[in-house]
């Protein structure tokens, strides 16, 4: 077979797949080398004419553009030094990292659980083929969907590992709980009250295991401010990540909980913050040593999804308001109050 490449494109050290060879990760052309195509990111780096660009349209930001091309916000920023991301203009031209492609054509999976389609699939730290690999999973592995960015799905695996796989390597899991219902909108008044409680904690020092103004950690902060507003949460970030309704990043509303994987050696959720709108969240930062507000696009921790907790969604709040109070029934006798005990000094009338 004759293989044709652009003159001057080959260089020492470039690896080509041989006929019948097996790739280390099942991929589509944009994600790895194929028989007739070099890796697109390598092609773009060697041939400036192959580099791609994107023209900004109405209501786009760095998040939506990154999701469209299956890259991280950090990669987009790195390809466009000097761009003021809060002041994007319609028609503004942005550079895209080599190998970027529009992934919006990959079919969406709407079930709460998914199954890996083939063996040797890499679980990425971020929704990008340029991201590091957390682990590798095989065909049939079932995982819970935490988030979706473009064609990428953030998944939690049975042993707690969290990472990203592209949608064309996944199928809906057999026996899944059906279509994942979108979270009901947030009750704005309730969310505002919770956020105000959190802002009142700004500057409080970080203390692992703390849950008061004397010192507080990330999950202690969320537990405290929700409790002040009548909503009980589990104490740890990983337990909080399992309650309520999953929320995609593009659908975030003020009051949602955000989850992260921090630390190079960690593969599990270990940090939580409260989304306050406009791409920002409030959290107890061990790195800064206090409760602060941080921009999602600037935060160094690996974003691991969002949840809208029970009691904050409009339908649940309204239900709690209109639900009739349960009828209070007073026991008439001691035997009714303690049916399995002998009550000394009382006759059958309870006197």
> In three state form, how does the secondary structure of the chain look?
CCCCCCCCCCCCCCCCCCCCCCCCCCCCCCCCCCCCCCCHHHHHHHCHHHCEEEECCCCCCHHHHHHHHCCCHHHHHHCCCCCCHHHCCCCCEEEECCCCCCCCCCCCCCECEEEECCCCEEEECCCCCCCCEEEEECCCCEEEEEEEECCEEEEECCCCCEEEEEHHHEEECCCCCCECCCCCCECHHHHHHHHHHHHCCCCCEECCCCEECCEECHHHHHHHHHHCCCCCCCCCHHHHCCCCEEECHHHCCCCCEEEEECCCCCCCCCEEEEEEECCEEEEEECCCCEEEEEECCCCCCEEEEEEECCCCEHHHHHHHHHCCCCCCCCCCCHHHHCCCCCCCCCCCCCC
User: Is 283 noted as a catalytic residue in this protein?
Assistant: yes
Is 54 an active-site residue? no
Known catalytic membership, residue 271:
yes
Please give the torsion angle defined by the CA atoms of residues 334, 335, 336 and 341, in that order, rounded to the nearest 10 degrees: 100
Closest CA to 229 of 311, 316, 323: 311
Pick the catalytic residue: 17, 54, 77, 218? Answer: 218
Active-site annotation holder among 17, 54, 77, 271: 271
Catalytic positions, written as ranges? 218, 271, 283
């Amino acid at each position: 077979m004759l293989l044709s490449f652009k003159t001057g494109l080959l260089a020492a050290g470039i690896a080509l797949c041989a006929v019948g060879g097996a790739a280390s990760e099942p991929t589509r052309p944009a994600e790895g080398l194929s028989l007739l195509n070099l890796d697109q990111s390598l092609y773009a780096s060697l041939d400036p004419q192959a580099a791609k660009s994107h023209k900004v349209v109405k209501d786009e930001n760095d998040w939506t553009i990154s999701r469209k091309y299956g890259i991280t916000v950090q990669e987009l920023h790195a390809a466009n030094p000097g761009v003021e991301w809060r002041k994007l203009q319609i028609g503004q031209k942005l550079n895209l990292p080599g190998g970027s492609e529009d992934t919006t054509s990959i079919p969406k999976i709407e079930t709460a659980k998914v199954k890996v389609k083939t063996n040797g699939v890499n679980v990425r730290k971020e929704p990008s083929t340029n991201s590091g690999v957390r682990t590798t999973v095989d065909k049939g592995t079932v995982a819970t969907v935490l988030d979706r960015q473009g064609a990428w799905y953030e998944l939690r695996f049975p042993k707690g590992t969290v990472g990203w796989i592209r949608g064309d390597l996944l199928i809906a899991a057999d026996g899944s709980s059906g279509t994942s219902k979108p979270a009901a909108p947030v009750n704005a008044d309730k969310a505002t009250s919770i956020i105000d409680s959190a802002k009142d904690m700004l500057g409080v020092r970080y203390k692992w295991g703390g849950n008061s103004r004397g010192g507080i950690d990330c999950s202690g902060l969320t537990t405290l401010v929700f409790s002040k507003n009548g909503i009980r949460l589990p104490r740890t970030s990983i337990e909080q990540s399992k309650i309520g309704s999953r929320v995609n990043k593009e659908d975030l509303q003020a009051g949602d909980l955000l989850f992260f994987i921090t630390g190079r050696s960690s593969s599990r959720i270990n940090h939580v913050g409260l989304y306050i709108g406009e791409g920002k969240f409030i959290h107890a930062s061990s790195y800064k040593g206090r409760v602060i507000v941080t921009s999602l696009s600037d935060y160094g921790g690996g974003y691991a999804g969002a949840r809208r907790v029970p009691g904050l969604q409009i339908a649940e709040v309204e239900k709690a308001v209109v639900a009739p109070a349960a009828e209070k029934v007073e026991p008439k006798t001691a035997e009714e109050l303690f049916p399995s005990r002998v009550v000394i000094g009382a006759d059958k009338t309870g006197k």
